[in-house]
Amino acid sequence: MLMTISVIYTLYAFIKFYATIMEIGFVVKAKKIEAVILGPVNFIKAGNYKIASSKMELVSILYDLLIFFWWIGFGLNILDGEISTQNQIIRSVIFVDLFIVINYIFSLPFDLYKTFSLDKEYGFSNIDFKTYIVDQVKAGILFFIFGSLIVALISWIMLTFENWWIWGFVAVFVIILFVNMIYPTLIAPIFNKFTPLENEELRKSIEELLQKAGLKSSGVFSLDASKRDSRLNAYFGGLGKSKRVVLFDTLIEKLDKRELLAVLGHELGHFKHKDIIKNIISSGLMLFMMFAIFGNLPKDIFLELGISNGIYMNIILFLLLSPVLSFLFMPIFGLISRKNEYAADEYGSECESKEALSSALMKLANENKSFPLSHPLTIFLYFTHPPLVERLRKLGVDIKASSDCMEESCPV
């Protein structure tokens, strides 16, 4: 069984590595054609950023593979021997917390490089080291308090119920819904400052848009995203009465009123088409399948790992292997999501106009320096949104460039 798991994880890493290699080669070639959507300077810059971040991803994939084999070969056994308490719930909390902290330390060099080197070089990251440290401390405190409580709850369920994986799924799913409900009003303000939108005319137009869509929100807010990142974004956060409209201050600065309303109209399209509910259901189904698999692992896997069949080991294997299962499900969810995005674009263009939404999408791509072309394998494996070229074509923009045409002389 252990050999099977090792082969599956290695195959997972190989597919990711191969897809990343193909993406790098594709973008290197695509940079040679005439600029599409982005201006010539931003087109090259976006391509260079994509290549640099993909190269970092290659190193990260190999690094993660080594860490995985270190854990199953030595790490879990070593960590298990260092914990002396025999209380199963306390032992689970300590073991899982230490496992996550060690993995955090392993991944920290990549996060530091991306934040303070790569993203700084390309003009994305505005964060200073003090803010970064404060963010990490806040996140760590939240993790140790609430993460430990969740591990303790799951451990108690495992000790109490024979079919613990069913009740464990129910508990985790309810917690996820609860976190989504409180996130905009209780958790997000810990990291960012939210202020009611000062532009009265824009606020009224947004409220009219919400009323037309039948969405009741707790307000329209501006978020001080610029102190960390220069990229543009907006979202509807929360569930139930906690729903709120959040606009990044960078977005408010760069888009005009019609473009902002078109972008928000797109997000409202997801609400009107009940995509949020569909996503919750589909995520719940995926989570249920994961719990079903990890709740029925053969006992010989623990013998092969040389570790005790403690309740915390099921949680650890879940944390180690759930990325593989998520990766397997991603193409299916991505296909559905891309279809939903087209429908949301249609609604957003009806709220304002196709021209306004097209203009907003092109500004977002230029400001965020998002390379507009990708290898088909990358799109299949990872994309939750259709390629921007295809979205703009659906909105009536005449874009003649083809992602299949990569010759330098190819007309666009």
- Residue 403 phi, psi dihedral angles, 5° rounding: -70, -15
23-32, 364-373, 377-386, range with the lowest pLDDT: 364-373
Output the average pLDDT for the chain: 88
- Answer yes or no: is pLDDT of 225 > 80: yes
Which residues are CB-neighbours of 91 under 8 A, at least 6 positions away?
A: 83, 85, 310, 312
**pLDDT band (50, 70, 90) for residue 28:** very high
Work out the angle between the directed axes of helices 275-294 and 164-182 (0-180°, nearest 10).
150
**pLDDT band (50, 70, 90) for residue 217:** confident
Helix and strand numbers (H, E) in the chain are 18, 4
The predicted pLDDT at position 405 comes to 45
Q: How far apart are alpha carbons 8 and 327 in whole angstroms?
A: 12
Q: What is residue 300's three-state secondary structure?
A: helix
The predicted pLDDT at position 399 comes to 77
Give the tens place of pLDDT for each residue, 52-63.
999 999 999 999
Task: Kindly tell me the sign of the dihedral angle through the C-alpha atoms of 94, 174, 328, 16.
Answer: negative
Which residues are CB-neighbours of 201 under 8 A, at least 6 positions away?
A: 257
The predicted pLDDT at position 192 comes to 86
The predicted pLDDT at position 84 comes to 84
Give the tens place of pLDDT for each residue, 248-287.
888 888 889 999 999 989 988 888 888 888 888 999 999 9
Strand segments, DSSP code E, in 218-280 are 220-223, 234-237, 244-248
Give the tens place of pLDDT for each residue, 153-205.
999 999 999 899 999 999 999 999 898 888 888 888 899 898 888 888 888 88
Instruction: Give the closest residue to 261 by CA, choosing from 226, 223, 213.
Output: 213
Strand segments, DSSP code E, in 127-254 are 194-196, 220-223, 234-237, 244-248
- Answer yes or no: is pLDDT of 18 > 90: yes
CA 266 to chain centre: 19
**pLDDT band (50, 70, 90) for residue 404:** very low
Q: What is the mean pLDDT of residues 14-40?
A: 94
* Domains along the chain with CATH numbers: 195-267 (3.30.2010.10)
Q: What is the mean pLDDT of residues 384-389?
A: 92
- Answer yes or no: is pLDDT of 77 > 90: no
* The Cα angle at residue 378 between residues 375 and 382, in degrees rounded to 5: 150
Give the tens place of pLDDT for each residue, 81-125.
888 888 889 999 999 999 999 999 999 999 999 999 999 998 888
70-79, 86-95, 150-159, 241-250, range with the lowest pLDDT: 241-250
Between the alpha carbon of residue 186 and those of residues 13, 178, 239, 243, the distances in Å are 37, 11, 13, 12
Q: Report strand pairing: 244-248 vs 194-196.
A: unpaired
Q: What is residue 136's three-state secondary structure?
A: helix
Instruction: Give the closest residue to 154 by CA, choosing from 93, 227, 210.
Output: 93
**pLDDT band (50, 70, 90) for residue 400:** low
Which residues are CB-neighbours of 250 under 8 A, at least 6 positions away?
A: 225, 226, 229, 230, 231, 232, 233, 367
**pLDDT band (50, 70, 90) for residue 73:** confident
Work out the angle between the directed axes of helices 275-294 and 257-272 (0-180°, nearest 10).
50
Instruction: Give the closest residue to 319 by CA, choosing from 157, 108, 104, 127.
Output: 104
Q: Label residues 42-67 b or e (16+ Cβ within 10 Å = b).
A: bbbbbbbbbbbebebbeebbeebbeb
The predicted pLDDT at position 307 comes to 67
The predicted pLDDT at position 411 comes to 29
Q: How far apart are alpha carbons 271 and 215 in whole angstroms?
A: 8
Q: What is the mean pLDDT of residues 353-376?
A: 91
The sheet carrying 234-237 orders its strands as 194-196, 220-223, 244-248, 234-237
Question: Around Cβ 148, how many Cβ atoms within 10 Å?
Answer: 16
Q: What is the mean pLDDT of residues 8-19?
A: 96
Which residues are CB-neighbours of 178 under 8 A, at least 6 positions away?
A: none
Higher pLDDT: 243 or 200? It is 200
According to DSSP, the residues that pair with 221 across neighbouring strands are: 196, 246
The predicted pLDDT at position 21 comes to 97
The predicted pLDDT at position 309 comes to 60
Higher pLDDT: 399 or 342? It is 342
398 touches 46 (CB < 8 A) = no
Q: What is the mean pLDDT of residues 143-157?
A: 94
Tokens of 164: 């613990």
- Answer yes or no: is pLDDT of 32 > 70: yes
The predicted pLDDT at position 11 comes to 96
Q: What is the mean pLDDT of residues 356-368?
A: 90
- Answer yes or no: is pLDDT of 412 > 60: no
